């Protein structure tokens, strides 16, 4: 009886440790995914606003990651690259 209770408690403790070990990488991937999504939405908004003037930026994962991770400097970087490279 005592062995069964200790076994269950040990199993719960191991489950807790595995959950704690996996939460950090999962949180990082979720954060990066959210930033990538937000970057894509910002690029869509910029394309909607500047499309009338003929300025559009490519909407791809690299551009979305640049805007999502770097923020405004990433957007300005893409705009500068578009102005220089055409």
Q: How many residues does the chain have?
A: 86
DSSP at 58: -
* pLDDT tens-digit map of 1-47: 877 888 888 989 888 888 888 888 889 999 999 999 999 999 999 99
CA distance 21 to 7: 21
CA distance 18 to 22: 6
CA distance 46 to 69: 16
pLDDT confidence tier of residue 67, bands split at 50, 70 and 90: very high
All residues at 6 or more sequence positions from 80 whose CB lies less than 8 Å from its CB, including other chains: none
Spell out the domain ranges in the chain. 2-85
């Amino acid at each position: 009886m005592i062995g069964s209770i200790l076994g269950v408690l040990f199993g719960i403790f191991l489950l807790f440790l595995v959950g704690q070990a996996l939460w950090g990488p999962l949180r990082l991937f979720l954060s990066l995914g959210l930033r990538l999504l937000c970057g894509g939405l910002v690029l869509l908004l910029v394309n909607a606003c500047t499309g009338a003037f003929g300025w559009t930026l490519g909407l791809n994962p690299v551009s979305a990651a640049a805007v999502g991770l770097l923020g405004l400097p990433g957007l300005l970087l893409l705009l500068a690259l578009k102005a220089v490279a055409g």
